[in-house]
Amino acid sequence: MCCLVNDQNRIKLQSASSEHEAYINASPLELPFAKRNYILTQGPLPNTTGDFWQMIYEQNVSICIMLSKVMEKSFVKCHSYFPHKDSPKSKFDRFECLLEHEEIRPNYIIRRICLKPLDSFKQNKKTATNNFVTPSNSPTKSVGSDESGGGCEGGENIGTSNLLDNSEDKSRIIHHFQFTTWPDFGVPEDTDQFLEFLEEVRRTREMLLTTSTQNQKEIISLEAEGSSQSNNPPIVCHCSAGIGRTGTFVIVDSVLSMIEMNRINKQNLLNLENNNGATNNSQILTLNKEEVAKHQQKQNLNSLESLVVFIRKHRMGLIQTPQQLRFCWKTIVG
């Protein structure tokens, strides 16, 4: 299944000579009220893997979340776009990826990858003026760049670099998290398994932000409304089409963050089951674009249902089944 990207809300590759070459199936999603910033995308294809890594590099991404396997039930769900133990060094178009660490756990795999731009990328790179199409564009600080100017041998070096001025083309450390037991159109068998995976992602995110703050010798405040990319670098998240499993991850992660910030009352979510709420109302999964916009105007972002409608305004189809919506609720309320 392929998700068509909203032309008014999409990532554009910077180093492109034409609008066609600037296209990638990826949607930015900023949720300042949840202190979250995502790039939601389909799994890379053989002919888009180079574009995928270019997007990660240009958007200063340090965390990439993969919610599918490469092969599922004899079907290819995603191209093998990352290095692994059997092939620790891989070249993808104008980028080179080196596997520095891989840890295999029962339900997920954690990788640390060194992403290095090749000379062909440096020669073709242009000064960016608009890195994604959305009402508010803002520069991004790089979390995870290599300040030494060499490879990634320095380990977890965290530096800052304006998205619009990556003139030195540093190598970057990318933290890659792959959940391996989540069936397409389905849900994980156990909420605890997913929460363990999510906690690993969150721990790494906080570590990167904390280290970045220390190295910059400045305070990054994520509590302020309207927190921009500059203090909240995006996390890339994908499955196969970048809608079902991806949307489920986004809802759980962002709602848990909002609960921690006291912006959603957990008791209201607990009462949904007895009030014919979002977990029983699959109609929101069939709203078209116009209905989403109409529904959006009536909602405050203080419920699971309204948040699903909100994120679907940015990338249609996020969360594909009532089962996935119910899994969100079960995982959040515990």
Catalytic residues: 239
Whole-number Cα distances in Å, 262 to 43, 102, 259, 270: 34, 36, 5, 15
**Which uninterrupted H or E stretch holds 215?**
helix 191-216
- The answer to whether 232 and 136 have CB atoms below 8 angstroms apart is no
CA 218, 221, 224 angle in degrees (round to 5)?
150
Q: Are 242 and 25 in contact (CB under 8 A)?
A: yes
Separation of CA 164 from chain center: 20
**Bridge partners of residue 177, in order along the sequence:** 65, 110
Contact assessment for residue 95 and residue 117, using Cβ atoms and an 8 Å cutoff: yes
243: CB partners within 8 A, 6+ apart: 1, 3, 40, 315, 316, 317, 318, 319, 320
Phi-psi region of 328 (alpha: psi -120 to 50; beta: other; left: phi over 0): alpha
Q: Please say whether the beta carbons of 275 and 287 come within 8 A.
A: no
Residues 6+ apart with CB under 8 A from 172: 57, 60, 62, 114, 115, 116, 142, 144, 145, 146, 152
Report d(CA 15, CA 260) in Å as an integer.
Answer: 39
- Token pair of 263 as six digits: 């912006």
